[in-house]
């Protein structure tokens, strides 16, 4: 399997685990790790991803920075509150924004394209354009330096 296809499969697994965690949140790193390892999507994938995989890196990264990710999403989701977003869309946005701001090895176009591909698979009719608009604004801000570095993503002013 090529690196691109492997990463796509791992992003899909990370999305599924994170989506599950949106219903049953993990209160500790150990709970999050167990949720990943015991996920039916992980066990059923035939690959049995472990905690050294890219999928786990994504799950752990999104889980541990979710407050910063939500603040960044709120900043670029004009007229939308994070609390009102659908779980599928919010999970996809968190995953892509994490890759945009915290993964220097992932080009912005790749992070956006992968989120859009997953939105076609898991999202509703309008998910793709909604997600694309927010990620495009976030990517432009990251590229211009407006967003600051990954550790200082700031929420929009009220």
| Interval 26-54: pLDDT, tens | 999 999 999 999 988 876 655 567 888 99
Question: Buried (b) or exposed (e) across 123-150, using 16+ Cβ within 10 A?
Answer: beeebbebbbebbebbbebbeeeebeeb
Q: Are 71 and 121 found together in one domain?
A: yes
What local confidence, expressed as pLDDT, does residue 46 receive?
A: 55
- The sign of the dihedral angle between the CA atoms of 55, 82, 73, 80 is positive
Domain region containing 140: 65-144
The domain boundary residue, chosen from 10, 33, 64: 64
CA neighbor of 135 nearest in space, from 95, 105, 93: 93
Indicate whether this model's pTM tops 0.75.
yes
CATH assignment of the domain containing 90: 1.10.940.10
**Domain count of the chain?**
2
Q: Are 54 and 73 found together in one domain?
A: no
Quick one: pLDDT band at residue 158, thresholds 50, 70, 90?
very low
The domain boundary residue, chosen from 42, 64, 86: 64
Q: Are 7 and 73 found together in one domain?
A: no
Spatial separation of the C-alpha atoms in residues 68 and 16, rounded to whole Å: 21
Q: Are 60 and 88 found together in one domain?
A: no
């Amino acid at each position: 399997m090529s690196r691109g296809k492997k990463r796509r499969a791992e992003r899909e697994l990370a999305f599924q685990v994170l989506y599950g965690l949106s219903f049953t949140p993990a209160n500790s790193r150990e709970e999050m790790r167990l949720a990943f390892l015991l996920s039916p999507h992980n066990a059923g994938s035939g690959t049995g991803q472990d905690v050294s995989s890219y999928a786990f890196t994504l799950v752990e990264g999104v889980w541990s920075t979710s407050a910063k990710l939500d603040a960044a999403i709120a900043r670029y989701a004009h007229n939308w509150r994070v609390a009102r977003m659908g779980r599928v869309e919010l999970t996809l946005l968190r995953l892509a924004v994490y890759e945009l701001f915290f993964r220097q090895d992932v080009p912005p176009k790749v992070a956006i394209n992968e989120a859009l591909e997953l939105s076609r698979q898991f999202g509703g009719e309008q998910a793709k354009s909604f997600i694309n608009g927010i990620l495009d604004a976030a990517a432009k801000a990251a590229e211009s330096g407006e967003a600051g570095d990954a550790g200082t993503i700031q929420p929009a002013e009220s």
